[in-house]
Amino acid sequence: MNSPLSLFFGNRAAVIALACLAVITLLALGASLIYPQSPWKMVGAPFQPPAWGGHLMGTDMLGRDIAAGLVHGARVSLLIGLVSTAIALLIGVGIGAVAGYFGGLVDDILMRFTEVFQTIPSLIFAIVLVAIMGPSINSIVIAISVVSWPSVSRLVRAEFMTLRRREYVESSQVLGLPGWRIMLTDILPNAMAPVIVTATLMVATAILMESGLSFLGLGDPDMISWGYQIGAARTMLRAAWWMSFFPGVAIIITVLCLNLVGEGLSDALNPNLKRKKP
């Protein structure tokens, strides 16, 4: 039987996507080295097309370097994607695990609570939250986490409900181990596979949502981000396509890669579900 790792690396698309993500991450980490100056700094004449006057991707309406904004924006996008997913996982796994393990009334209460969040359209809910808290990187992370944890909790609850009937869990219960310990050491590791896959896709969704918020002018005014770049440039699309084109491509590539990696992971971790290759 193949190990998950070799299964994953046998998936060419997923490997390419992972390499792409590695490059994007490197660019984000090295943003200050590649473009030491602030991405808000006006470095040239406004509206310069790509490769004109020494700017790889051209300049925007104030003469800011699009490429500099792009790599600094990668930082913001990835940071928000990762941190908000981490927070959402923390909440979602916690609530889902308790609900799934204990069942009964606890399950009922927690799931009704989750449903309250699930009934509100997530982007609109995020907009409301950011508008109330005021646009800043913290409020955006909080808003995205708050709207994305319910799906995790549903998933984790389902996993826990099936796993808690397994013999190894029952044997731990017979031995008198405390519930938290069984959840943490016996069930959670076995429930992680689908959670990891979901998490990858959640990062992609979070990046999209941050771009959406920035596009609507609800981004952190101190942080340049892809969504902001597109939002500011969208009305000039016909006059200066490059200003929204490159950030748009960056979002597409990042989200696509995250989805491919997620799919690769899903196939590798659940070999039984693997679709037959043509």
Partner 1 sequence: MKLLKIVAALALTAQIANAAEPTEGGTLRLIAQPEPPMLMLGLNQQGPTQFVAGKIYEGLLRYGTDMSVLPGLAQSWTVSEDGLVYTFELQNDVVWHDGEPFSSKDVVFSLSKFLPEVHPRARGVMGHVKDITAKGANTVSIELNAPFPAFLQSFEVSSAPIVPAHIYEGTDYRSNAANETPIGTGPFKFDEWQRGSFIRLVKNDQYWQDGKPYLDEIVFNVVPDAASRAVAFETGKVDVLRGGDVEYFDVQRLAALPDAETTNAGWEFLSPITWIQFNLRNEPMNDVRFRKAVWHAIDREFIANAIWMGFADPADGPLPASSPFYKENLPAADYNPDKSRALLDEMGLTPDENGVRTTVRYLSLPYSETYIRMGEYIRQQLREIGIELEVTQTDVGGWAQSLGQWDYDMTVNLLYQYGDPALGVERAYVSSNLVKGSPSANVSGLDNPKIDKVLSEAGTATSTDERMKLYAEFQQTVVDEAYFGYLVRVNFPTVYKTKVRNLVGSAIGLNDTMADVWIAE
Closest by CA to 72, choosing from 113, 102, 27, 42, is: 27
Q: Which stretch binds partner 1 (CB under 8 A): 72-80, 120-128, 153-161, 232-240?
A: 232-240
Binding mask 72-111 for partner 1 (x = CB under 8 A): ----------------------------------------
Q: Please state, as a whole number, how many other Cβ atoms lie within 10 Å of the Cβ of residue 71.
A: 23
Query: Residue 217 interacts with partner 1 (CB under 8 A)?
Result: yes
In the bound complex, what is the minimum distance in angstroms from residue 216's beta carbon to partner 1? 11
In the bound complex, what is the minimum distance in angstroms from residue 237's beta carbon to partner 1? 8
- DSSP 3-state of 73: helix
Query: Residue 62 interacts with partner 1 (CB under 8 A)?
Result: yes
Binding mask 136-165 for partner 1 (x = CB under 8 A): ------------------------------
Query: Residue 128 interacts with partner 1 (CB under 8 A)?
Result: no
Contact 129, 146 (CB under 8 A): yes
Both structure tokens of 25: 């991450």
Of the residues 12, 166, 234, 274, which one makes contact with partner 1 according to CB under 8 A: 234
Contact 69, 229 (CB under 8 A): yes
Binding mask 22-61 for partner 1 (x = CB under 8 A): ----------------x-xxx---x--------------x
Q: Please state, as a whole number, how many other Cβ atoms lie within 10 Å of the Cβ of residue 176.
A: 6
Q: Please state, as a whole number, how many other Cβ atoms lie within 10 Å of the Cβ of residue 162.
A: 12
Q: What is the DSSP string of 165-209?
A: TSHHHHHHHHTT--HHHIIIIIIHHHHHHHHHHHHHHHHHHHHHH
In the bound complex, what is the minimum distance in angstroms from residue 49's beta carbon to partner 1? 15
Query: How many residues contact partner 1, by CB under 8 A?
Result: 19
DSSP H or E stretch at residue 253: helix 242-269
Contact footprint for partner 1 (CB under 8 A)? 38, 40-42, 46, 61-63, 134-135, 217, 221-222, 232, 234-236, 238-239
